[in-house]
Amino acid sequence: MNDFFTIMEKLQEMLDSDDVEVVTNDGKSVRGRIDNLRSTQPFSKPAVKIRALDGKITKVLFSDIKELIGHKNSDE
């Protein structure tokens, strides 16, 4: 999943979700809420920051994203 616009569109659809999972090309998985979606700042690579339930924030570059999964909250 290397197309910037596809990734951006999917992430924007998931902005209000508390349970987003990002799987990277190397098989790692980060799950939580989108904390920051950076796409247009000069001199920076497009990236998303995910805040896990324990409060840890992980930055994932768009170029490292293999899959985006939007998990539904059980109370919805």
User: Would you list the domain boundaries of the chain?
Assistant: 4-70
The sheet carrying 20-24 orders its strands as: 57-61, 47-51, 29-38, 20-24, 65-70
pTM: 0.81
What is the distance of C-alpha 74 from the center of its chain?
A: 20
Q: Digits of tens for pLDDT over the chain (76 positions)? A: 568 889 989 998 998 898 999 999 999 999 999 988 876 567 778 899 999 989 999 999 999 999 999 987 544 4
Question: What is residue 43's DSSP assignment?
Answer: T
Maximum Cα–Cα distance across the chain: 41
pLDDT of residue 39: 63
Q: In sequence order, which residues have a C-beta less than 8 Å from that of residue 13 and are 6 or more positions away?
A: 70
- Please name the fold of domain 4-70: SH3 type barrels. (2.30.30)
